[in-house]
Amino acid sequence: MRSLSEIETTVKRASRAAGYSWGISEDVGKSIRILELFGLPGVKNLNQYYKDKNFKKFENLNLISEENVSNTTPFCPIILGISFLDQVRAMKQIKKINFGVIAYPMIFLSFLSRASEIIGKKIYIKIDKNEFILNYNVNIFSNILDKNIILKEMNVEVEIIDNQDNFSDNEWKELYQLSENTFVEENESLKQGGAGAGLTDND
């Protein structure tokens, strides 16, 4: 089994050989490593994308808006991913962002996982019928059962999720009241032994 370090290094070198700068190639290496760490087919999708890139052109999207439509060819998932990372702080107030069409969107997803960590918010992404929730670059939850799936050219919907508690105010109050049973009742002995409560004034 290949180590994550080996995967990241090889992906970085392959990306440079595919025509990307060393800086972008390093980002691709980190992103694909994330997919493999979470059990998603990063290497498989990237390898197929680089094969297609030899004879197909893909559109670079540098400025992202709420609605993004490719003119004649699908968006390059790598340049799109880099653009998203660069602009995500400015976009975190936008509820939904639509893209049509992205080549190999699984690659783009790997950049979104890192973006989730940058803004401190979960990101929901829908690729056809496949759904993902990206949790601060700590894990990725999805409904994909086939871990070898290759998604080629698809529309993608991205939603930045506002942070919310997973419990009600009443549930929190009940739990907090229970925690109060551990509080130590203050008495005269504790007052005298506490910080700054000594009997001698040295000032």
Please give the pLDDT value at position 91: 86
Please give the pLDDT value at position 146: 79
Please give the pLDDT value at position 41: 94
Please give the pLDDT value at position 100: 92
Please give the pLDDT value at position 147: 75
Task: Parse the chain into domains and list their residue ranges.
Answer: 4-161
Give the residue ranges of the chain where pLDDT is below 70.
185-203
Cβ–Cβ < 8 Å for 89, 118:
yes
* Residue with token string 């094969």: 51
Pick from 75, 73, 68, 58: which is nearest to 91 by CA? 68
Q: pLDDT tens across 51-66, in order?
A: 999 999 999 999 999 9
What pTM value is reported for the model?
0.83
